[in-house]
Chain A
């Protein structure tokens, strides 16, 4: 199985350890991983804001980079959701459609494609709260939606239960948006920050030490708020927990 590793721009620059953890984890699981070196961004920031024209170049480059892989895997729910569900600033050729279909977020790839049953090389002796991003829940369905009468599940939590030592605690508002929302976090600063503060307060009510998420972009926002408010909360990507670091 040849997998193209999709490392979104902000992970490359700000959270390289998340990229390393994802790569090492996939390698441990016996996957042949290739990192196309000309990656930049999937085009989501522009696409979300309605700027199709400026999203097109990023989308075209993404397709050029990721042509010919069995799967494309990215440790970022919102970017993967963009590729799979929006990504329409460029002509929808068979190749583009194929790439979109084969792009997976890490948690769903581990759960649905690799069907991993254990992570014997890692342990995490902490109480944690989970943050699945809105894109990952409502777009990729890695967790059941609270608005629907449907069977309850949470793929992130199911993976974390396979890690020894971990205690998962649940939030009062488990799928409430944290207010990151891409450019929303700066164009709508007051609301975004308030949503983030409320999210951090929910973590603190549950008295967890760590927040674990498959989406580093939300965590970047939440961590910024927690740090400013001198909260001791720590934020890690699920790849780091499953791979046993690097932290």
Chain B
């Protein structure tokens, strides 16, 4: 089903006077904190240039780095699996779990596992799965996708969470203190970590040179997930691979400063091999359309993304819409340019949900030309006839009108008399006129600039 992002965004705005303004304020604060962090580092712009270049280098030599990564990881005793599709990814994980009789699992945040819709796949096969990132757990309990890449439940107010926790984990519905609600979830999750048969994580970066991968969290939940059960499975997209360990210096310095405006995440965890004798480490190296995207001359740059969410925080449209409105794993500007690679019919309206202000491109720590790609995706939608029909017809008329000075002048006059004669009920009709619903109409002048010019300057 086609996602109607405009309608979903309108619903978020019109829901009440609290949700959208709070969402906007919290994300704008993250953007402001990011600016202060960037300003405190003299080499910030140089770091962005270098990070962009390293990502482009890694992606244009991806075959050799994938090979190197797999060789190095295997040498350390890690078992590497290969998934071409989301289905492969889910099946491989399920088979590993099954062969270990693992029915209770804890997981930390992984956008790739979200992308593959792994949770419902495993749950329908009898696996009990608990999200351990607080934001993801909130989303799991409310049956929603993450609304933001690094702040999954940012569209919810504290009151919403209080109500949700009261309903699902039995907290006092009148307790609306974030500290106490967090404490309640800590106590709820702790036994699940202790009992888990396996722990699942994603990865922020993987290093070809060592076969290591890096997971960044603030809660320490990925480390608990990996440190307690005897089996650790990590889902890693092929685009996460960096050539060298020292590259991490740049990316760790950029990631959390861009995302949340904090110097780094509280935990930057590196996994090189199985924890101890008897423990197992598995990696599911996943393609799911990435190699194909690499072949799209205009669109492969989106593979550089380090999933910081800075483009979402800065996006004025996203801040008014919430991530849920996009109806996809990835929302906001980066979502607009990634989601259609999976399904250009379902997500055909996403590229039009942008004012093209361009802030996303400017804020990106790895210089992805997001705004430009949004325009290119619009062109793609027009080519495959998935753009809005009303616009298509309007532009067919406008295209001819603007190509012909004579007809353009007639249309201008028609506009003047038309608007002048039209009664207000028609001009401000809320269904016929999207402009006039909440805005006064500008007045078309009887004497255009051209009329004036001919009268006053042309001899």
| Chain A residues numbered 1-55 whose CB sits less than 8 Å from any CB in chain B | 7, 9, 11-16, 18-20, 23, 35, 37-41, 43, 45-55
Q: A138 and B357: CB pair below 8 A?
A: yes
A183-B391 contact, Cβ under 8 Å, with A58-B403, A189-B10, A190-B14: yes
- Known A35-B450, A54-B395, A138-B361; 13 more pairs at CB < 8 Å: A13-B415, A41-B402, A50-B376, A52-B379, A56-B399, A58-B403, A147-B359, A147-B362, A175-B359, A182-B356, A187-B6, A191-B10, A191-B321
Q: Given A147-B362, A190-B14, answer yes or no on A51-B387 (Cβ-Cβ < 8 Å).
A: yes
Interchain CA distance A138-B358 in the complex, whole Å: 7
Q: Chain B contacts of A186 at CB under 8 A?
A: 434-435
Is B416 interfacial (CB-CB < 8 Å)? yes
> Quick one: given A149-B38, A189-B10, are A195 and B320 in contact (CB under 8 Å)?
yes
Closest to A65 in B: B405
Q: Taking the complex as formed, is A233 at the interface, i.e. its CB lies under 8 A from any CB of chain B?
A: no
Residues 311-369 of B at the A interface (beta carbon under 8 Å): 314, 316-317, 320-321, 351-359, 361-363
Q: Is A166 an interface residue (CB 8 A)?
A: no
Fill in one digit per residue for A175-200: 1 if any B CB lies within 8 Å of its CB, else 0.
11101111111111111111111100
Are the C-beta atoms of A20 and B401 separated by less than 8 Å? no
Q: Are A173 and B449 in contact (CB under 8 A)?
A: no
Q: B435 touches which one: A54, A139, A146, A185 (CB < 8 A)?
A: A185
- Residue contact A181 to B412, C-beta cutoff 8 Å: no
B20 at interface, CB cutoff 8 A? yes
A181 contacts across to B, CB distance below 8 A? 354-357
Q: What range describes how many residues of B lie at the interface?
A: 35 or more
B residues less than 8 Å from A179 (CB atoms): 316-317, 355
B316-A51 in contact (CB<8A): no
Ordered by A's residue number, 26 sampled pairs between the chains whose C-beta atoms are within 8 Å are: A9-B402, A14-B444, A14-B445, A16-B449, A16-B452, A39-B450, A40-B403, A49-B395, A57-B404, A58-B402, A58-B403, A61-B402, A61-B404, A150-B45, A179-B317, A180-B355, A181-B354, A181-B357, A188-B317, A189-B435, A190-B6, A190-B320, A197-B438, A224-B442, A225-B438, A227-B439
Chain A residues with CB under 8 A of B405 = 37-40, 61
Chain B residues in 8 Å Cβ range of A134: 355-359
Asked whether B188 is an interface residue with its Cβ less than 8 Å from the other chain, the reply is no
Q: Are A195 and B44 in contact (CB under 8 A)?
A: no
Residues of A within 8 Å of B269, CB to CB, are none
Q: Is the CB of B6 within 8 A of A191?
A: yes
- Chain B residues lying within 8 Å of A176, measured Cβ to Cβ, are 316
Residues of A near B454 (CB, < 8 A) are 37
Q: Is the CB of A12 within 8 A of B448?
A: yes
Kindly identify, within residues 363 to 415 of chain B, every residue whose CB is under 8 Å from any CB belonging to chain A: 363, 375-382, 387-388, 391-392, 395-396, 398-405, 408, 412, 415
- Residue A205 interfacial (CB < 8 Å): no
Q: Tell whether, in the assembled complex, residue A54 and residue B445 are in contact, meaning their CB atoms are under 8 Å apart.
A: no
What per-residue 1/0 map shows which CB atoms of A117-160 lie under 8 Å from chain B?
A: 00000000000000000110011000001111110000000000
B9 close to A (CB within 8 Å): yes
Interface secondary structure of A, over-half rule: helix
Contacts of A49 in B (CB 8 A): 352, 378, 382, 387, 391, 395
Tell me whether A7 and B449 are in contact (CB under 8 A). Answer: yes
Across-interface contacts of B438 in A (CB, < 8 A): 189, 193, 197, 225, 228
Confirm or deny: B35 has a beta carbon within 8 angstroms of a beta carbon on chain A.
yes
User: Closest A-chain residue to B454, C-beta based?
Assistant: A37
B443 close to chain A: CB less than 8 A: yes
Contacts of B377 in A (CB 8 A): 50
Q: Is the CB of B439 within 8 A of A196?
A: yes
Nearest 8 CB-CB pairings of A with B: A57-B403, A50-B378, A54-B399, A224-B439, A181-B355, A19-B449, A190-B10, A177-B357
Query: How distant is the Cα of A43 from the Cα of B408 in the complex, in angstroms?
Result: 13
Indicate the member of A15, A86, A186, A221 with the most B CB atoms within 10 Å: A186
B391 adjacent to A187 (CB under 8 Å): yes
Interface flag for A60 (CB, 8 Å): yes
Kindly identify which residue among B378, B400, B453 contacts A19, using a CB–CB cutoff of 8 Å.
B453
Interface contact B382-A37, CB-CB below 8 Å: no
For A52, list chain B residues within 8 Å (CB): 379, 382
B16 on interface, CB distance cutoff 8 Å: no
Chain A residue nearest to B374 in the complex (CB): A50
- Distance in angstroms from A160 CB to nearest chain B CB is 23
Convert B190-234 into 0s and 1s, putting 1 for each residue whose CB lies closer than 8 angstroms to a CB of A: 000000000000000000000000000000000000000000000
CB distance from A173 to the nearest CB of B (A): 7
A57-B314 in contact given A12-B448, A183-B391, A191-B9 (Cβ < 8 Å): no
Does any Cβ of A come within 8 Å of B447's Cβ? yes
A217 to chain B, nearest CB (A): 10
| A242 to B381 alpha-carbon distance, docked (Å) | 43
B358 near A139 with CB under 8 A, answer: yes
Query: CA–CA, A208 to B209, complex, Å?
Result: 59
In the complex formed, the residue of B with least CB distance to A150 is B45
Within the complex, the shortest CB–CB distance from B131 to chain A, in Å, comes to 30
Q: Judging by beta carbons under 8 Å apart, are A149 and B44 in contact?
A: yes
Closest residue on chain B to residue A180 by CB atoms: B355
Q: How far is the CA of A239 from the CA of B98 in the complex (A)?
A: 72
| Nearest-neighbor residue (CB-CB) of A193 within chain B | B438
Q: How far is the CA of A49 from the CA of B377 in the complex (A)?
A: 9
Q: Is the CB of A224 within 8 A of B449?
A: no
Is A243 on the interface with B (CB-CB < 8 A)? no
- Residues of chain B within 8 A of A197, CB atoms compared: 438
Instruction: Judge if A223 is at the interface, Cβ distance under 8 Å.
Output: yes
B437 at the interface (CB under 8 A from A): yes
Contacts of A14 in B (CB 8 A): 442-445
Any A CB within 8 A of the CB of B267: no
Min CB–CB distance A53 → chain B (angstroms)? 7
